[in-house]
Structure 1
Amino acid sequence: MTSTAPRTPQDPPAEPAAGPAVALTGVHKTYGATRAVDGVSLTVARGEFFGLLGPNGAGKTTLVEIMEGQRRADSGTVAVLGESPWPRNTALLPRLGVQTQSSAFFVRLTAREHLVTMAALYRCDAAAAERALASVGLTEQGDTRVDDLSGGQRQRLAIASALVHDPELIFLDEPTAALDPQARRSLWKVLRDLKGAGRTIVYTTHHLDEAEALCDRVAIMVEGRVAALDSPGRLIAASSPTTRLLVPADRLTPDRARAIPGVDRVTEEGGSIVLETLASGRVLAAVDEIAGLQGVQTRTASLEDVYLALTGTGAPQP
């Protein structure tokens, strides 16, 4: 007879984790004439924080839905935790946690009651709700009705709902979208804690600074294909080595800046003269002699620069 006893964190795992959390090979998905996913192959290691980046329409959502088992790939192979998610694999679902951008809640319940209900659906004990509340820093708001929570607190609750049954693999779809800067930075700690706890996370975002700070590796998608896949640091290192020096405009004229040996290009940006160079040390020393370094800013390549070079879309839109 099958046991229906609540699961607890003391229950031993059935088998040691083995193989990648996600393995995709030659995955295609079309809608009419549109190739939403066009031959994507990638793996996500267990314990990895993996980011999917790309402009709207690049195929990110379709690819994630294929991983989650919500959509069927037209061709290619898909393995999630060693199993095929399609046809809809109900045995796999308890091992997955999913936070969507527009999460649904039991809004008339308190945050704690909402999570107790979610835990019960997965046959987890009531203490799972308390652990999930604590994991996202919502313990003090446990008795607050969901519809009275702030936007940032609801986003935390959405992540807690995805965590309450202690899944092996978590999908986070733009968890910091529409949050103010303070709430977004606060949620970063939650995401860092998840990463530190060894969770396997597949994560989509339009906030490139966030992906650079949090992700072990990122895949940048363009028109259904993976245009680049590596750690943020290696992608940045392989991009333009140019350094930009921003000097207050009242301290240095464009003509004087162009005369500095090692300066490749000079432009004006707001209240600054921008010097682009491959010899930043030499140029900084020259700027120091001419104008001093007070107020001078140094900017090197970022993940955003890599993204814009690959997508050609201008600034990423949240």
Structure 2
Amino acid sequence: MSEPALADALRQLQLRYGCDLALKHLVDAGIDALPKPGAGRTLARWRVLADVAAHDLSLVKLFEGHTDALAILAELGAAPAAPALARWGTWCAEPPDARVMLDATEGHRVRLTGTKAWCSGAASVTHAVVSCWNAAGEPCLAAVAMDQPGVRVTGNGWHAVGMAASASVDVRFDRAVATQIGRPGDYVNRAGFWQGGAGIAACWFGGAFGIARAAHQRAGPAPDAHRLAHIGAIEVALTAAAAQLREAAAWIDRHPQDNAQRIALRARLAVEQAANVVMHHAGRAVGAGPLCRDPHFAHAMADLPVFLRQSHAERDLAALGQLAANEKEEPSSWTL
């Protein structure tokens, strides 16, 4: 599907379903047939993610996980048996108190045992790409079907107000049948790891854009100087973040097999900063009314701060600073 056709199809779904738009609608309509990261149309991929995010941040959390799973399976040459319209989750968070173990059986068929935390959309997906650990202590990936006796979606682990609809609960595996994907270590060692990480920033950007658009629409025909100042601050923040994402997408397309960590960290941190600026100024520009009486705006303002915490904040800044400090002279990215 071409980029204009994809955008039009998404717009029609948004108009048809409104706040009831769900992952199933996007998958059934083929909206998930996005260009793969690094294949020459990374920006087109990110534009769709941003458009979904501007509509509903909890929905894009599920949609990004689904499309990320498809990209992982394609990159690692894995094709586990799954229906054509399967809805995928990507569950690869590794908190210290929740770990899934992989027991090999024969070939690529394995068994999964343990608790997986932060499983966004667990009750609505049909399959998932799950990070896990083998007996040698090596990190692995597995694809698992949810509709089987060894999988139990719990109601635990998710009490958030913002991003509540993403329902990122704990899932318990009890010798669930799964298919190993790739080799140990492939998840973080592949080029797509940081490419996908940069794609998250497109989701954050879309959420910020949706909030900014609402503030712009409520500016009125003759906004006062204070409201104009807030719109101006939003203009500066969003324009800079959009430029950073366009530059990152172009770099990834020029270097599809290179490590994009520095590019991804820079884009993520720039968009995170811009999103915080947008929320600060949008709230002050529109006042309490939309926060209390406009459900879409209120949800977005509650959802985005939670979603942004997928960033590692100062840890990511320190990691980016280390990459810059490793250069013998000032980084070339600092110059025009």
| Alignment TM-score, normalising by the size of structure 1 | 0.28
Structure with the higher strand share, 1 or 2: 1
Q: Judging by fraction of residues, say which structure has more helix.
A: 2
State TM-score, norm by structure 2: 0.27
Kindly name which structure, 1 or 2, has the bigger radius of gyration based on alpha carbons: 1
